[in-house]
Amino acid sequence: MNKRKMNETLEELVRTDSNSLDEPGLLFERLARAVRACRRYNITSPLTKKVRKLFAQYVESRIDPETKRLLEEAISEKDINKLKAVCEIIERNGQMYVGVENERSHTRNYTRI
């Protein structure tokens, strides 16, 4: 996907009101794909930051308060065992969290050392 097409897609996603859609989940699936594509192709701009923020807000709204508290605690304490435990909870419950994928990669890198 070229940069121009990606920018058009990102602009459309930012302009779209999820409340006006019959299936708002589809918007967030598109946001997720856009975030992954931007990360994969190292595309950074104010627009990509907006899309990531929108997606993060959606994902965070889906996680239960207790799990979110445990995740924030594990990240702030930089406790790899707590982080692994929270990742397992999130996977078991089918929840998503933007930071989990990133933290899991750090966990894998840390355990390789």
- Domain borders along the chain are 3-61, 63-112
pLDDT in the model for residue 113? 44
d(CA 95, CA 6): 27
| Higher pLDDT pick, 92 / 47 | 47
In the numeric block, which tokens belong to residue 31? 């946001």
Mean pLDDT of all residues in the chain?
81
d(CA 5, CA 10): 9
45 CB neighbour count, 10 Å cutoff: 13
Element housing 39 (H / E): helix 24-40
d(CA 31, CA 52): 8
pLDDT in the model for residue 98? 46
Give the model confidence (pLDDT) of 37-80 as tens digits.
998 888 889 999 999 998 888 877 778 899 889 989 998 999 99
